[in-house]
Amino acid sequence: AEERAAYHAAACICSNYAVAVEAMAAQLMARWTGSNEAAWEALLPLFKGTAANLQATQNPAAVLTGPIARGDVSTVAKHLVALPAAVIPAYCSLGLATTSLALANGTIDEKAADELRNLLGGYYG
């Protein structure tokens, strides 16, 4: 009973927050597709591929891809310049968590992790 709140928080992060992130991505993508619905249709194959990769593993962190997983600080910096201000806090918060995963996975070294933390923390903090 004493762990119920943490258990429930884990479920909310897994489900509710994933929905919020996908809705945020669709809203951003709608700049090019003309509607959130068309944006979600464009993003759905990526989401399904990610879900399939997650389903096929025992370790969600192991399927991490993208610029942070590669230590591509310049791409992350370009994202921050291109993003609307309202999206930046979520992007940075998730980016910092992703940096920790990439470091733990060994796909980036401590130097790249520090660069990413400084960049993302500078925008977020």
pLDDT score of 1? 80
Contact between 38 and 30 (Cβ < 8 Å): yes
Report d(CA 125, CA 53) in Å as an integer: 32
Structure token digits, residue 20: 């919020």
Per-residue pLDDT tens over the stretch 91-106: 999 999 999 999 999 9
Report d(CA 66, CA 64) in Å as an integer: 7
Residue type, 104: A
pTM: 0.90
Contact between 123 and 88 (Cβ < 8 Å): yes
pLDDT score of 11? 96
Per-residue pLDDT tens over the stretch 67-96: 999 999 999 999 999 999 999 999 999 999
Structure token digits, residue 6: 């943490």
Q: What is the mean pLDDT of residues 115-124?
A: 91
